Amino acid sequence: MKSLLLLNGSPRGERSNSMKMLRRVAEGWERGDGSAPEALHLARKAEFDRAVAAFAGADVVLLGLPLYTDSMPALVKTYIEALAPRVAVRENPTLAFLVQSGFPEARHSRPLERYLEKLARRLGSPYAGTIVRGGGEALQMMPDEANKKLWARLHVLGEQLARSGRFGENELAAISGTERFSPVAAALLSVACKLPITQFYWNMQLKKNGAWERRFAAPYGPALR
Amino acid sequence: MRITILNGEPESASNFQEYLSDVARRLASSGHAITTLNLRELDLKGCSGCFGCWVKTPGECAKRDDSAHICRAAIAADLLLLASPMTMGFTTALLKHAADQMIGLLLPNFEIEKGEVHHRARYAHYPNFGLLLGAGGDSDAEDIAITTEMWARMARNMKTRMAFTALASRSAQEVADEIAAAA
């Protein structure tokens, strides 16, 4: 049995969308391999240090992270910088990644995916692939039942990682969904974005926090509206 | 031109720091208004994904740290110069801390722009982005291209564009001229 180090790179820690998805991949891994992964949150200082120390000893490292301003969160870059001494070693664990973003199209996450693939090469690590999944914030709104299909896909990917050391290309393509919208879909979405239902998630929270009146506040310069 | 420099160099004494100071002096002496934020000197608590800047204290980080200085100086600028040495194929974690805490410059709501989903603007004006990279160590042309691509995506999300990527291997005067031309 191989060892899997499961790293959650979300600053939100346990309650993050990244962790919800990572757990399903880990379940799939256990089905395929049987060994229980060690799971660590980079957002917790002690676990961050453990994640640096445990990196070299793992067979496979699966790092999950949210897209933050179109790249990795600073927390994840801090972790990657801590791996710098491993570059010279050239014998490092297989690297697998999961990038989740709030944008519905996969397009937004592709530059980060290219970075992660290069990171594996930089470390001399076999590259297992990157799961790219958009629409992440919707996970916070939906009951777990509604995400059954997504969970099933993540299970399959986890099992593939355990059995072959790689994610399947067809499965990666299927889970990332829409790469970019067609002109017709974009026009429809443009209308949909203006409908109250698509604003509901944010408006509800603004109102709950008593911040509704200040929702367009522009404290540092002229506002758009 | 008003230029805000976000300096992501973690060390106070380094070749990149000296080089950046030289570029800034040259820009100032040719009449540009330069604001330099040495990120290593600021109190940045880091983004924890709480969305407070979107739903609790709209436009401001709920943590009330020095990230307010970054946001104010960015919005006031014509050009935001993102300056950093390359480490592990990308700009430093220090610079990324600044970027993560700039998300409140946008609204949480989505819109479609040129066929892609992006966040809506909060401000009437956003600065052009420019990258100044200290491409030492093991970084190569592919790293520079990937780094540029990620920051250009952020620029697009911030309703602006990446005006240039300059490398600190060129002379300080050449780079100062290129930055000035990006007005």
Q: Which residue type, as a one-letter code, is found at position A51?
A: A
Among B3, B75, B84, CA closest to B39: B84
Instruction: Compute the average pLDDT of residues A173-193.
Output: 90
Residue A204 placed within a domain = yes
Question: Cβ distance B35 to B3 under 8 Å?
Answer: yes
Instruction: Compute the average pLDDT of residues A2-21.
Output: 95
Residue A25 placed within a domain = yes
* Structural domain boundaries, residue A77: 4-176
Q: Give the residue on B whose Cα is nearest the Cα of A72.
A: B96
Residue A224 placed within a domain = no
**Is residue B21 classed exposed, middle or buried when 0-12, 13-18 and 19+ CB atoms within 10 A define those classes?**
middle
Question: Cβ distance B4 to B73 under 8 Å?
Answer: yes
pLDDT tens-digit map of B88-114: 999 999 999 999 999 999 999 999 999
Residue A112 placed within a domain = yes
C-alpha B180/C-alpha A159 separation (Å) is: 54
Min CA distance, A33 vs chain B (Å)?
A: 32
Instruction: Compute the average pLDDT of residues B151-177.
Output: 97
Looking at the structure, tell me whether residues A67 and A108 fall in a common domain: yes
Say what the pLDDT of residue A199 is.
84
pLDDT band at A147 (very low <50, low <70, confident <90, very high): confident
Say what the pLDDT of residue A111 is.
98
* Sequence-separated (6 or more) residues with CB below 8 Å from residue B58: A206, A211, A214, A215, A216, A217, B104
Backbone angles phi, psi at A132, to 5 degrees: -110, 125
Looking at the structure, tell me whether residues A166 and A148 fall in a common domain: yes
* Count of structural domains, chain B: 1
Owner of token pair 């979107």 = B54
Q: What angle, 0 to 180 degrees and rounded to 10, lies between the N-to-C axes of helices A169-176 and A148-164? A: 160
* Count of structural domains, chain A: 2
Task: Inform me whether the pLDDT recorded for A145 exceeds 80.
Answer: no
pLDDT top residue among A141 and A59: A59
Chain A 91-130, residues with CB within 8 Å of chain B CB atoms: 103-105, 107-108, 111-112, 114-115, 118-119, 122
Residue A220 placed within a domain = no
Looking at the structure, tell me whether residues A172 and A67 fall in a common domain: yes
Residue A72 placed within a domain = yes
C-alpha A56/C-alpha A194 separation (Å) is: 49
State chain A's mean pLDDT as an integer: 93
The interface predicted TM-score (ipTM) is 0.97
Looking at the structure, tell me whether residues A108 and A192 fall in a common domain: no
C-alpha B67/C-alpha B54 separation (Å) is: 15
Chain B partners of A186 at a C-beta cutoff of 8 Å? 112, 115-116
Say what the pLDDT of residue B110 is.
92
Task: Inform me whether the pLDDT recorded for A54 exceeds 90.
Answer: yes
pLDDT tens-digit map of B41-89: 999 999 999 999 999 999 999 998 999 999 999 999 999 999 999 999 9
Looking at the structure, tell me whether residues A98 and A194 fall in a common domain: no
* Sequence-separated (6 or more) residues with CB below 8 Å from residue A23: none
Contact flag B88-A205 (C-beta cutoff 8 Å): no
Q: What is the DSSP letter of A106?
A: G
Residue A100 placed within a domain = yes
The pairing of beta strand B116-121 with beta strand B79-85: unpaired
Looking at the structure, tell me whether residues A170 and A196 fall in a common domain: no
C-alpha A80/C-alpha B60 separation (Å) is: 28
Q: Which residue type, as a one-letter code, is found at position B82?
A: L
Model-level pTM? 0.96
Q: Give the residue on B whose Cα is nearest the Cα of A104.
A: B117
Looking at the structure, tell me whether residues A149 and A210 fall in a common domain: no
pLDDT tens-digit map of B5-27: 999 999 999 999 999 999 999 99
Looking at the structure, tell me whether residues A130 and A157 fall in a common domain: yes
* Sequence-separated (6 or more) residues with CB below 8 Å from residue A195: none
Looking at the structure, tell me whether residues A156 and A208 fall in a common domain: no
Q: Which residue type, as a one-letter code, is found at position A130?
A: T
One-character DSSP codes across chain A: ---EEEEE--TTGGGSHHHHHHHHHHHHHHHHH-PPPEEEETTSHHHHHHHHHHTTT-SEEEEEEE-BTTB--HHHHHHHHHTGGGTTT----EEEEEEE-SSSSGGGGHHHHHHHHHHHHHHTPPEEEEEEE--TTHHHHS-GGGGHHHHHHHHHHHHHHHHHSS--HHHHHHHH--SS--HHHHHHHHHHTTSHHHHHHHHHHHHHTT-GGGTT--TTS-B--
Chain A partners of B112 at a C-beta cutoff of 8 Å? 181, 186-187, 189-190, 193
Residue A223 placed within a domain = no
Which of B78, B88, B149, B162 to substitute to test the interface with A, most A CBs within 10 Å?
A: B88
pLDDT band at B177 (very low <50, low <70, confident <90, very high): very high
Instruction: Compute the average pLDDT of residues A171-194.
Output: 90
A77 close contact with B: CB closer than 8 A: yes
Helix, strand, coil % over all residues of chain A, rounded to 5: 55, 15, 30
Question: Cβ distance A74 to B96 under 8 Å?
Answer: yes
pLDDT tens-digit map of A60-74: 999 999 999 999 999
Contact flag A223-B56 (C-beta cutoff 8 Å): no
Looking at the structure, tell me whether residues A117 and A199 fall in a common domain: no
Say what the pLDDT of residue B18 is.
97
Min CA distance, A126 vs chain B (Å)?
A: 17
Say what the pLDDT of residue B37 is.
98
Would you mind telling me the total number of residues written for chain A in this entry? 225
pLDDT band at A83 (very low <50, low <70, confident <90, very high): very high
* Structural domain boundaries, residue B104: 2-181
Looking at the structure, tell me whether residues A64 and A151 fall in a common domain: yes
CATH of the domain at B142: 3.40.50.360
Min CA distance, A17 vs chain B (Å)?
A: 11
Task: Inform me whether the pLDDT recorded for A144 exceeds 80.
Answer: no
Question: Cβ distance A43 to B70 under 8 Å?
Answer: no
Looking at the structure, tell me whether residues A192 and A88 fall in a common domain: no
